[in-house]
Amino acid sequence: MRKPRKAGGGSQRHGEQPSPDAGPGTPSQVSPYHLFGDADEVTRFRASLLSWYDQAKRDLPWRRRAAGELDLDRRAYSVWVSEIMLQQTQVATVIGYYTRWMQKWPTLQDLAGASLEEVNQLWAGLGYYSRGRRLQEGARKVVEELGGHVPRTANMLQKLLPGVGRYTAGAIASIAFGQVTGVVDGNVTRVLCRVRAIGADPRSPSVTQHLWSLAQQLVDPARPGDFNQAAMELGATVCTPRGPLCPKCPVRGFCQAQKRVEKVQAAVSRRLLGSPEQEKTLEVEECGLLASLWEFPSVPAEGTESVQRRALVKALQTWVRGPLPLRSLRCLGEVVHVFSHIRQTYVVYSLALEEQPQGLLPSGARWVSRAEFQAAAVSTAMKKVLQLFEGQPSGHRKASSKSPQDPATSGPGPGPGRQCRQLTLGAFFKPTSAP
């Protein structure tokens, strides 16, 4: 496994090897770093989160209402309304709307009997009016077609109710009916990505799938609704997008991102004290951050640009047999990526090749096409690196070669404007079947 470094080109995977027929986006196995190790760890995580939630949860009208409502359909309705309103709207704004809504239509039957005009009127100012319309359509469906009973499972809720997606269905089923089903919204995504140090794009299918399976693994079987709300509450109030309150976090002891920060801070302290262990500590920890992801080959970027170039050329020559067109090695600039509260800088180099070089790739590496790269499990940082490469205007390049062989001005590629862009990505990322 290789750690993310600061200079790159090509593509290399972190972590487990995929099976021979698996693409780069389908690692055969998720790194243990992104999983919860054992049942005991899961139990302790649940207990820490729930005990914090019991003390710190916000007093919100939908929580009060759901907790005090014995009738399951009424309880589901009260959760359903809140979840729909909370989509794309802040809690503080929703409180007033929710209170007015429930006063006007305390039951599904009341809402089913309302006119669309009344619904729109009460919804005015909340935005995304289709949410209110769908809510009312759902109420009518429950009353007219389902005997007044809200479907009792996440699957059936998602299947039968308009406007109810996977997250909302899971939230209603777990909070109102106690179904043991995990949920993943934006807040839960952030918490899980930090807790398990998942640096890949959370919108990618493989990461989304992993997050849902983590949520399902973690949800407390005795208090699924509370657990899901606790995870969301943590993301909303403690593990915030910027400036997370780690010292106050109840799951700090389980958080890989936090552990990494502590180790980096310890390494910095050792460096200040002149300890030689510094590099080793950083390397071990960085291995985990982006485990199981593909990344461009990289070397540590130390010193001046000429020192960096020498280190990069040396590495390239250990990977590729035969001569390399080093004249086309370009420094494109820097990509800064902030993962959680960790800041990493990549100095990006490109090397245009006319054909796939002969030679042995490092263990676990392979050439990929642009399409394979887009479909692969790669970190957001690597996507930024590629964006820098693809969007690099000539004026921003540090290299100034204008020779006829300059890949910026020759070779296949689009017509107008091609002289301003690096055109040889197809040559850089060749599929393994390419000659």
Pick between residue 183 and residue 257 the one whose CB is nearest to ligand SF4.
Answer: 257
* Residue range at the interface with ligand SF4 (CB under 6 A); choices 110-118, 138-146, 240-248, 288-296: 240-248
Q: 173: which 2 tokens?
A: 């089923």
**Which of 30, 239, 316, 353 contacts ligand SF4 by CB under 6 A?**
239
Give the C-alpha separation, 315 to 320, whole Å: 9
Query: What ranges in 39-180 are assigned the alpha helix state H?
Result: 39-56, 61-68, 72-86, 91-104, 108-112, 116-123, 130-145, 154-160, 166-177
Q: What are phi and psi of 348, to 5 degrees?
A: -100, 130
Give the C-alpha separation, 264 to 230, whole Å: 29
State in angstroms the smallest separation of the CB of 357 from ligand SF4.
Answer: 42
Q: Which residues pair with 345 in a beta bridge?
A: 336
Q: What angle do CA 368, 373, 378 make, to 5 degrees?
A: 125
> Is residue 94 at the binding interface for ligand SF4, with CB under 6 A as the rule?
no
- Interface map 171-210 toward ligand SF4 (x if CB under 6 A): --------------------x--xx---------------
Pick between residue 193 and residue 335 the one whose CB is nearest to ligand SF4.
Answer: 193
Helix axes 130-145, 116-123, angle to 10 degrees: 140
Query: What ranges in 253-366 are assigned the alpha helix state H?
Result: 256-272, 278-289, 305-319
* Residue range at the interface with ligand SF4 (CB under 6 A); choices 118-126, 155-163, 244-252, 263-271: 244-252
Applying CB under 6 A, the site for ligand SF4 has a residue count of 15
DSSP label at 326? G
Pick between residue 2 and residue 196 the one whose CB is nearest to ligand SF4.
Answer: 196
Q: What are phi and psi of 335, to 5 degrees?
A: -120, 125
Say if CB 33 and CB 197 are below 8 A apart. Answer: yes
Pick between residue 179 and residue 258 the one whose CB is nearest to ligand SF4.
Answer: 258
Q: How far is CA 71 from CA 31, 59, 75, 97, in A?
A: 44, 21, 6, 23
Say if CB 11 and CB 383 are below 8 A apart. Answer: no
Q: Token pair 């042995």 is at which residue? A: 360
**Which of 8, 163, 244, 288 contacts ligand SF4 by CB under 6 A?**
244
Pick between residue 175 and residue 239 the one whose CB is nearest to ligand SF4.
Answer: 239
Pick between residue 236 and residue 361 the one whose CB is nearest to ligand SF4.
Answer: 236
> Is residue 352 at the binding interface for ligand SF4, with CB under 6 A as the rule?
no
> Is residue 289 at the binding interface for ligand SF4, with CB under 6 A as the rule?
no
**Which of 229, 340, 379, 380 contacts ligand SF4 by CB under 6 A?**
340
- Interface map 251-270 toward ligand SF4 (x if CB under 6 A): xx--x-xx------------
Is residue 390 among the annotated active site residues? no
> Is residue 238 at the binding interface for ligand SF4, with CB under 6 A as the rule?
yes
> Is residue 249 at the binding interface for ligand SF4, with CB under 6 A as the rule?
yes
Q: 54: which 2 tokens?
A: 């019991």
What residues numbered 12-71 form the site for ligand SF4, per CB under 6 A?
Answer: none
Say if CB 221 and CB 42 are below 8 A apart. Answer: no
- Rg over CA atoms, the chain: 26
Active site residue: 83, 233, 286, 295, which one?
83
Coil, helix or strand at residue 288: helix
State in angstroms the smallest separation of the CB of 52 from ligand SF4.
Answer: 10
Give the C-alpha separation, 152 to 161, whole Å: 12
Pick between residue 247 and residue 412 the one whose CB is nearest to ligand SF4.
Answer: 247
**Which of 142, 172, 246, 376 contacts ligand SF4 by CB under 6 A?**
246
* Residue range at the interface with ligand SF4 (CB under 6 A); choices 33-41, 250-258, 297-305, 391-399: 250-258
Active site residues: 83
Interface ranges with ligand SF4 (CB under 6 A): 191, 194-195, 238-239, 244-246, 249, 251-252, 255, 257-258, 340
